[in-house]
Structure 1
Amino acid sequence: MTTPSTIETERLLLRPFRGDDFEPMVEFYADPVSKFYGGPCSREEAWRKFAVYPGHWALRGYGPWAIEVKATGRFAGVCGLWNPDGWIEPEITWALVPNHHGMGYATEAARRALQAAYEDHGWTTAASVIAVANVASAALAERLGATIESEQQNRYGPVHVYRHIPPTSIPPTSIPPTVWSAS
């Protein structure tokens, strides 16, 4: 079984999930914004979705991390490498819990997850599968330099597959060195 490493950015820790991360995920899955991630749903269903994250690491050897804000120790969301059975392709995914939007956390975490995909897990390409209606996630993918490669259907409806450029193609001045430096 692969245990997730803890990696960091200037303001965040991307770390393994803990039991106390569940309550904020219940809030997330009760919020309408979770519609892009299979919600809103009951507490019982939120538990099943939450338990998938550490299970993904055990079965794939990579997966999503819990996002923790260093300054407060608060759980802020989910970000990482995602490829459940039947998914379009391995992707970089992200979602923030209520009250953590608009602070740049998802962008910062996704940049670091993208770096980990290439440098630590040997990915040669990376995508993000984003619901067509998810304007905020589409904007984040574009901030990361990704472009729409195709439109497809997944279990949640129509999605755009965004293709990320490899870190070697990103000008060094456009990404803070604290995010892209070697781990």
Structure 2
Amino acid sequence: MNSMTVSHASAPILETERTVLRPHKLEDFDAYCAMGADPAFFRFIGGRARTREESWQRLLRHAGMWSLIGFGFWAIEEKASGRFIGEAGLHDLKRDLVPSIEGVPEAGWGFVSDVHGKGIATEVVNRFVAWSDEVFGPSRTVCIIDPENGASLNVAQKCGYREVLRTVYHEHDTILLERNSLN
């Protein structure tokens, strides 16, 4: 078990200038499915559209992770419109990755394509890593990103993540990045 585990029954509500990070809701499901079927979203995350069933399973996983390990993903809501625009947060997916990152909180994010390139991902990731440092104290988090995903690599770098190594995950080249607020 990871040393960051604390008791959170659900995601706390956080805000940035343009977004609200909040727990997922059933009302998000249709928008969540649409995002998972958008080629701009899934291009670097599995390379294929998610089925409704897969989207439902992910939504349930996000909700359950909070109660089991004390952290997870938030639904991202645009303040101006109130609409669901993505998801982001920390998780531990017990990935079959070499080297192992099991037990280390892994950052991830994904957004609807019409907000890409507007700095929202950087704003959101900076907010949840600051929350992590506030709640858990200085710690190490990681993220894995496809080397072709320049936009996410830029977000990670702006949020303090640095490349550790290159590896292969599910037969795809992958970059492992680390943010260590202990130093």
Give the TM-score range, shorter chain.
Answer: 0.7 to 0.9
1:114 to 119, 129, 141: 129
For 1:63 and 1:135, how far apart are their aligned partners in 2?
A: 24
More displaced stretch, 146-155 vs 8-17: 146-155
- Name the residue aligned to 2:94: 85
For 1:123 and 1:52, how far apart are their aligned partners in 2?
A: 26
For 1:156 and 1:54, how far apart are their aligned partners in 2?
A: 29
Alpha-carbon RMSD across the aligned residues, in angstroms, is: 2.0
1:29 to 32, 36, 60: 36
Contact 1:29/1:46 (<8 A) preserved:
yes
Equivalence map 1:50-69=2 (5 Å): 50-69=59-78
Question: What SS does structure 2 have at the residue aligned with 1:145?
Answer: coil
For 1:113 and 1:141, how far apart are their aligned partners in 2?
A: 12
Letter in 2 for 1:59: L
Question: What SS does structure 1 have at the residue aligned with 2:115?
Answer: coil
Matched, 1:18 2:25: yes
User: Cα distance 1:57–1:156, how it changes in 2: closer, same or farther (>3 A)?
Assistant: farther
Equivalent residues, number: 168
Deviation at 1:156, TM superposition (A): 6.5
- Name the residue aligned to 1:172: none
Letter in 1 for 2:64: G
Letter in 1 for 2:43: K
For 1:22 and 1:123, how far apart are their aligned partners in 2?
A: 34
Contact 2:105/2:140 (<8 A) preserved:
no
1:9 to 16, 23, 33: 16
CA deviation string 1:28-79 (max 9, x = no partner): 2111231323341222222222221112112211001011111111111011
- Name the residue aligned to 1:94: 109
For 2:170 and 2:14, how far apart are their aligned partners in 1?
A: 31
For 2:38 and 2:171, how far apart are their aligned partners in 1?
A: 16
Unpaired stretches in structure 1, ≥5 consecutive residues: 170-183
For 1:72 and 1:147, how far apart are their aligned partners in 2?
A: 34
For 1:84 and 1:122, how far apart are their aligned partners in 2?
A: 22
User: Cα distance 1:59–1:35, how it changes in 2: closer, same or farther (>3 A)?
Assistant: farther
Paired-residue identity, %: 33
For 1:20 and 1:76, how far apart are their aligned partners in 2?
A: 13
For 1:28 and 1:156, how far apart are their aligned partners in 2?
A: 24
Unpaired stretches in structure 2, ≥5 consecutive residues: 1-7
Contact 2:147/2:173 (<8 A) preserved:
yes
Matched, 1:146 2:161: yes
For 1:156 and 1:107, how far apart are their aligned partners in 2?
A: 28
